[in-house]
Structures are given as C-alpha cells and as structure tokens.
Structure 1
Amino acid sequence: MSKWTAEAIPDLTGRTFVITGANSGLGLESTRMLAAHGAHVVMTARDRLKGEAAAARVGQDVPGASLELRILDLADLESVREFAEGLRNDAVPVDVLINNAGVMMTPQRDTKQGFEMQFGTNHLGHFALTGLLLDRLAAGNDPRVVTVSSTLHKKGEIDFDDLMHRGRYSPTAAYARSKVANLLFGLELQRRLTAAGSPVRSLMAHPGYSNTNLQFAGPTGWRKAMMRIGNPLFAQKPAIGALAQVRAAVAPDVAGGQYYGSAALFESRGFPELVRPSRLAQDPQVAARLWEESEKLTGVVYGL
C-alpha cells in the first residue's frame, strides 16, 4: 500500500476549513498543509497573541496563504456560541470542520460551565461547536466533520453515573474517556447524518504518538517527566501525525464513518491508514445515550 502524504492533497482553492486549536501542534501543521494547497483556513486559538504568531509562521512558510484568526475557547460554551455566531454574522462559509483542539491529562479542574475539563473541552465543546455549525456545513462544498481522537480511547470507559469524574479522579482515565467520547460522537453523527439524508460526512482520525506540546501543557509530575523523556525518543513528527486528519478532511476516496490514523507499532507511528475503533466506541446504544446527555449538558440540540 502506498503511503498517503501531503503530495496527495488535491487543489483546495475556494474551500474553507475551520480548525480548532490551530495555533500549535497538529492544528498548525494541518493549517500549513491545507493553506499550501489553496484552502482558506479559519484558525482558532484561545490566546490571540499565540494565534497571531502561528498565523505569521504559516504566512512565512506559505506565501500568499489565505488565513484568518478567530478566538475560540472550547472550555467555555459562551465562547463556542460567540464563535459560531461570528461566522454566521460575517457570512463565512464552512466546508470542513476539523475538531482538533484538546487538553490532555490535566489535574482535576472544571470548565467555565462546571464540566470536568477534559470531557468538557475535548468532547462537549466540539459537540456544541459542530451542532452550531451544522447548517453552514450542509451548504458547503464536499462538507465534512473530522473529529480527532487518540489511541488511548481504547482504555476509555463511559460512566453515565459519573461523567465528570467526581469520584476518584485519574488524569489518564479522564483523558481516555474524552477520547472514546470523541469516537462515539463521530460515529453517531454519521449515523444521524445518513438517516437525515445530509450531504455532510463525519470522519475520525488519530495522530499516533506525535511530538506536540499537548503532552506538556496538561500533564504534571511524573506524567510530564515521562513525556519529556519519551517524546524525543519515540514520538513522530507532528507533520506526520497531522496527515491522518488531513486525509480524512480532503481525500476524495474516504467515506463517512471511517477512522484514519497511524497504524504501525500499535498505532503509534506511520502514515495514515484505516484503523478500527474500540468495541465500546462502536456501540450504538452507548453513543445514542451519550448524544442525549451531551445535548442536555450543552443545550445544543441537533434536530437530526
């Protein structure tokens, strides 16, 4: 099987991509690749200065890149609504949404609305954002939603009696829960889009073990120390890890409901290929209940 690389990206002129967490890591690499092939990229970041610096770097690497920066904090549903409303008010088209941003293995803390930080940011923030942009996506050119998960989703469990980890808190278990929630959401979204006859496709991706600042921004103590040791030795370049979400976002031969990621060495390295979600991630009953709970928690009702 031939490797899928950035050279396979088609001409994206005239298409608009929204990428959450575009100021660093996988989001920044995805922005660079898409812009290099003619896309207009709406970069989102929580911090304006960091976002502007990232956009400037892409502009240097890709002369003439079509970029705009908008502020979005997925840990605050008010910010999510303001962002979506801003796109609507400014008549910004949305052809592809890449739900890339995330936090990893943070100490126990809450979002502005009182959700556990990792579940609230990685899952609920993106659930709300996708729902608020779905009508704009439906009017788009080859519209897709790409939700980024992790190989750690395989260790994730969904406890509907304690979604926010108010019991004994584990940074790793909370992260794994948020990542299996990403896949449950992405697959259920495709089921509902298909049933509704929507042109939008939902796909998922994971970056393998990629060397990004995600591993240092959240973990503390021994977890952070292990990342500092392991990343230089074992992690692949973020430009390789980002290819999975880019392939899901632009390749002409992908289908809704597919999951792409690095496949070598226990899915830690390599160019993107089709991979399998865990059994839990594919459970339609769990997905349907999580969907209902997510609508209640966020106040965003899809109508699908």
Structure 2
Amino acid sequence: MLIPTFAILALLASSPEVGADQQLPSIIQDPESTVLEDVVVDGRRLDQAIDDFVADIVAPPVNRGPARWHRRVCVGAVNFRTEVAQALVDQVSSVAANASLEIGEPGCTANVLILGTEDGSGLAAGLVERAPRAFRPLYSGAARSREALARFVATDAPVRWWHVSVPVNRETGYQGVRMPGDVAPPVVEAEGRLRTPLRNDLIKVFIIVDVAKAGGIDVRRLGDYVGMVALAQIDAEADPSSYDTVLNLFDVPDSQRGLTEWDRSYLEALYGAELNARAANQQGGEVSSSMYRDLRDARPIDDAEADPTP
C-alpha cells in the first residue's frame, strides 16, 4: 500500500526518520554488480569534452550559477522496505560524505527526500498541486521555471528530481534576496564587476523513484545515481551518452557499475570550485577548469601533456 499523498506532504515540513519502514513492497533487487573496463568518452580533447559535459548537464534556475549543499545533508527515504530504505540512505549519504559534506544523524530533518512509488507522475502531480510553494518558493533563484516543473511531473523516467535553492551572502550566511514578507531587499555589498558576494545553497531536493521502472537495478547503483542528482542540479533532459557517467544507468544498465571517475571528478570540482564569478555562466567554467585539472593529473603523462590547460 502506498503512503497517501497527504501523508507525504506532511513529511515535507517534518522530520522523517531516516530509513523509516514504509508499506510499499519494493521490487528493487540487489544482484551482483558487473565490473567493466573504463569507457572512453570519445575523440574530443579532454578539455572540450569536460566543457561540453558541464554545459550540457548543469540546470540551475535562470540567471543563477550552480547551487550546492553547504556543509550538511540529511537523507530520508520513504515508501520502501526497511532494508531497501536504509541501504539507499546509506549509499546516498556515502556519496555526499565523499563530496566532503556532513551527514545528519538518524532523526534529522531530511533535506534530501527520496520517495518510492508505483506511479511517479501521479505522486509528483499530487505533491505539486497540494504544495506548489514547496517546489517553487516565492523568491528569486529558488527553482527552475514552471515549464520545467511541468516536465518534472510529466516525465516517464524511473527517477525524477527537483531542487530548491536560496541565494546566500557568502560572508554573513544570511539570505541574499528578498523573501516573501520582507519590507526591503537585503543589503549585499558588491565585490566588484568580476566577483559576486552571493553563493547559491541547495536547501531541499525531492527525488521520486518509480520502483516498477527501476526494478532490476541494485540498490548500490541506484544510490549512486540518486546521490549524483541529489548533490548537483542535473538537467534531466540532458543526453549523457557520450560520457562515462552513472547518469546512463537506466539507458545502458549492464554497462554502468555506479559512480565513475568522471562523476567523482565532477562532484569534487563542483564542491571544490570557488563559484564566485559574477556572470552565472562563468561559474560553470570554474567547475570545468577544476574538473579538467583533476582528470588531467590522473592521466598518464603523455596524454596529459597533449591537452593544454583551458
């Protein structure tokens, strides 16, 4: 039996127990994973392939740079069998910990909320209809467009996700935009024409797993996939087929063993880059440059020397 929509809505503002036992009998299996050789991206130069990848997959709100979690995440999973929920929470938390984030203790208020269901579109539509401001709060830089939200509801993908973020003053930690009810906008001191005083913090991500469509994918690989889309604002409509990434999990499941070196390098770059360029599109370039340096240094000397620094 599925958790009623109204009960899940209550979880959006409450503190669900991490890995809590729920009533939906999950069909997710846990077969032995197959390990394959590394996949070559393609014939492009490394720096160009990275630039293309970052440009293709990054999907922040309009006129905003990439958002990321600041310090701490708390992962909650509901509507799965107890052992599946706990394994999923543990794997996603492991991905977050490897990105140098703090992990909330059991009982913390979930800001990464993973919902299992047998009807992904139905659950998404019900949640958005009943709590639209949970998905698109009334302040600048919170989330993507109404059209993107409609696609979140309508997609038939096995996993769908929706991020909510807030612009924050990087020096004070206070909100950097006018919130509903504010009389005046916050005072934000400029740092010059090239640097922004604001950072974009993720504050919530909703991830809906259609268990019927995700059947046959073991929990470890599913957790890696969910971890990737939980930590980064990935464009669900991007085509990652040219890259060795876990984002291809549901298109070519037999070739995907979980997070790859490419994925780990992207997350390390996302969480390690300064992201302080005033132009939002230049912040993606900061991620690209950091990812390039990481992968270049990991390559054999002859290959690394063939690629100039971007």
TM bracket (short chain)? under 0.3
Q: What is the TM-score with the length of structure 2 in the denominator?
A: 0.26
Higher Cα Rg, which structure: 2
Q: What is the TM-score with the length of structure 1 in the denominator?
A: 0.26
